[in-house]
Chain A
Amino acid sequence: MSDSRSGLFGFVLNGLGHMFRGGLLYWAWLALLLVLIVLGGWHYYLQLRDGLLVTNMSNQVSWGFYISNFTFLVGVAAAAVMLVVPAYIFNRKDIKDVVLMGDTMAIGAVAMAILFVVVDLGRPDRFWHLIPFIGRFNFPESMLAWDVIVLNGYLLLNFGISFYIVYNHYQGKEPNASRYFPWVLLAIFWAISIHTVTAFLYSANSARPYWHNALLAPRFIASAFASGPALMAIGLQIIRRVSDYPIRQSVIDHLALVAAIALQVTLFFVLAELFTDFYNEGEHAASARYLFFGLDGHTALTPWIWTAVLLLAVALLILMIHPLRTHPVYMNIAFVLTVVGVWIEKGMGLVIPAFVPTPIGEIYEYAPSATEIMVSLGIWAIGLLLFTLLAKAALPVQCSFLREKAHREVTHDDA
């Protein structure tokens, strides 16, 4: 391996080479993402110029569509552990072959989550105050400071582990487990922490009863373990379709089972909250009443949440019936319903109602402005682009490594 192409430089060059090679469909996909990114960038420029006034957020509803998407994506990011745990702790070989795609998705999701926080800032030029040691960082008092640490730490962990494994595979070596396994263990706990810290960011606010309950963090984790695996299963099937990467059906089935169980727990949690709020309804249930039934004629969020409940219920029904869960079409319908349902429930359904009514009893409704939607689309495009490029660079390396390994095993068996 004295060949200069096996070095770090060659590795990066090789990856870049793969990123810029592809068929018409690949280029069309990249072009679509780039158009969305440019559009989002333009709208973000308008927001920078005119301030948060161009969003529909107000002093009353101060977090909106951006923080909703952020919340959902934190969940998706952490769900990578649903591949990491079976792959590394239970040594499922089929899952170990694809675990890297889970990490790649986590990288895309965390990057998006961080971007969504940045665009939500009124003064993004002062973002550096949120960097430990450089800025004035209010740690450990502020939950947001914790969130900055756990999110960036998770990004680094996933990037580091994936990079180490792919780089070794590129050099034709089996990665040294004793070197990366401790980091994998850390990443598993870290994944739970990014959920928990983000949930605590909300539940710490005693002035907002809708958030201020102990079930928020568990509910957060449960729904993330439904939407994350569902999204991952969709992604893996697309990769299987467009590349020759060997992804076994058993992996998809595993993800479907995880999503089914997590969805059951999620809906149980939702029922538990509904019972507590409405059996003996008090003032603290005002936000929940606004969300589910409307308050004083204000019903902006009611259609959203019932759509989410319906989607999740149908998804759960499909996933709970064995022949349907393993059916290639119904299974994917359930995945899509789960992703969209949780996106609503963890986004608009979790963030907005806490502000309605305000603690002093006023009702200000919220729906995202065109600017917010365009900027959000742009960020989603950035995340998908990041995922696409990273996957495109890593997949050929992984494919050839897996092929060689299979070949070696066969020849070994022959001998």
Chain B
Amino acid sequence: MTTYAMVIDTRTCIGCGDCVVACKNENKVPAGLNRDWVVEATRGEYPNLETEFRSERCNHCGHATCVTNCPTGASHYWKDTNIVLVAAEKCTGCKACIAACPYDARLIMHPEGYVDKCTFCHHRVDRGLDPACVSTCPTRCMHFGILDDRDSIVSRLLRERRYKTLMPETGNDPHVYYLL
């Protein structure tokens, strides 16, 4: 089992949205829909305010409830990894996965009616490349790699820096990490 992780540095992210554009280009995501998005969150109390930019997407959970919820197995793990994919031809559009997802990371395609999501660009990962959003990031605040490999950039960053994940309390074991 290979665990891929994305590590995003909220200190160097400028919220430009290039990751969103890159994803739309790479994956031909139709107009009006996005597989990733940028959240602008405000922390602290006036006047000591701090803005945090977060590029968000599917967290490719180790225990993905969208995969267990799916009645047809259309939601599945890619090979022996934590990358969650939807096999469009098996998806009935029942939306049980959308109800299960803590990250709002899934979208219904119109008018086709199946569910779509971030794939961690597994077609690029297969060729040894980073996901399109990571490759595009102008401030290099996004990193991608194998978590089980101690020498990978993601393992090193998580060893050295403080970080958080989103909604770990759901028990989903998310794999998009935000450096603080």
Contacts and interface: CB of A to CB of B under 8 A. Distances in A.
Interface of A: 49-53, 57, 59-60, 62-63, 117, 120-124, 126-127, 129-130, 135-138, 141-145, 148, 201-202, 204-208, 354-355, 358-360, 362
Contacts of A59: 33, 98, 104, 106-108
A126 B114 CA distance: 10
A354 B90 CA distance: 27
Interface in B107-129: 107-115
Interface in B49-68: 56, 65, 67-68
B65 A207 contact: yes
Contacts of B73: 136-138
Given A207-B101, A207-B170, A122 B71 contact: no
Q: What 8 A-B pairs come out closest when comparing CB atoms?
A: A122-B93, A51-B111, A122-B113, A207-B102, A144-B71, A62-B98, A129-B72, A62-B95
Contact of A120 (B89, B94, B103): B94
Contacts of B111: 49-53
A148 B171 CA distance: 26
Contact of B92 (A49, A57, A123, A359): A123
B175 to A, nearest CB: 16
A63 B94 CA distance: 9
A359 B113 contact: no
A137 B91 CA distance: 11
B99 interface: yes
A51 B100 contact: no
A161 B171 CA distance: 43
Contact of B69 (A204, A360, A362): A204
Interface residues of B, number: 43
B82 interface: no
Interface on chain A toward B: helix, strand, loop, or mixed SS? loop
Contacts of B114: 122-123
Nearest to B99: A205
Nearest to A127: B92
B108 A52 contact: yes
B70 interface: yes
Interface on chain B toward A: helix, strand, loop, or mixed SS? loop
A183 to B, nearest CB: 27
B112 A123 contact: yes
Contacts of B171: 206
Contacts of A117: 94
Given A52-B110, A59-B98, A122-B115, A138 B70 contact: yes
Contact of B104 (A120, A141, A358): A358
B95 A123 contact: no
A362 B24 CA distance: 22
B180 interface: no
Contacts of B103: 359-360
B16 interface: no
A51 B71 contact: no
Nearest to B56: A360
B10 interface: no
Nearest to A142: B71
B112 A51 contact: yes
A138 B56 CA distance: 29
Given A52-B110, A123-B91, A206-B170, A135 B72 contact: yes
A137 to B, nearest CB: 7
Contacts of A142: 68-71, 96
B108 A122 contact: yes
26 contacts: A52-B110, A52-B111, A59-B104, A59-B107, A62-B95, A117-B94, A123-B114, A124-B92, A126-B92, A126-B93, A129-B72, A129-B74, A136-B73, A136-B90, A137-B73, A142-B69, A142-B70, A142-B71, A142-B96, A204-B100, A205-B99, A205-B100, A207-B101, A354-B99, A360-B103, A360-B104
Contacts of A204: 65, 69, 100
A193 to B, nearest CB: 17
Contacts of B92: 121-124, 126-127, 129-130
Contacts of B115: 122
B107 to A, nearest CB: 5
A362 B33 CA distance: 16
Nearest to B169: A206
Contacts of B98: 59, 62
* Most chain B beta-carbon contacts within 10 A, residue among A126, A135, A145, A362: A126
A130 B71 contact: yes
* Most chain B beta-carbon contacts within 10 A, residue among A135, A141, A360: A360
Contacts of A359: 101-104, 167
Contact of B113 (A51, A201, A354): A51
Contacts of A63: 95, 99
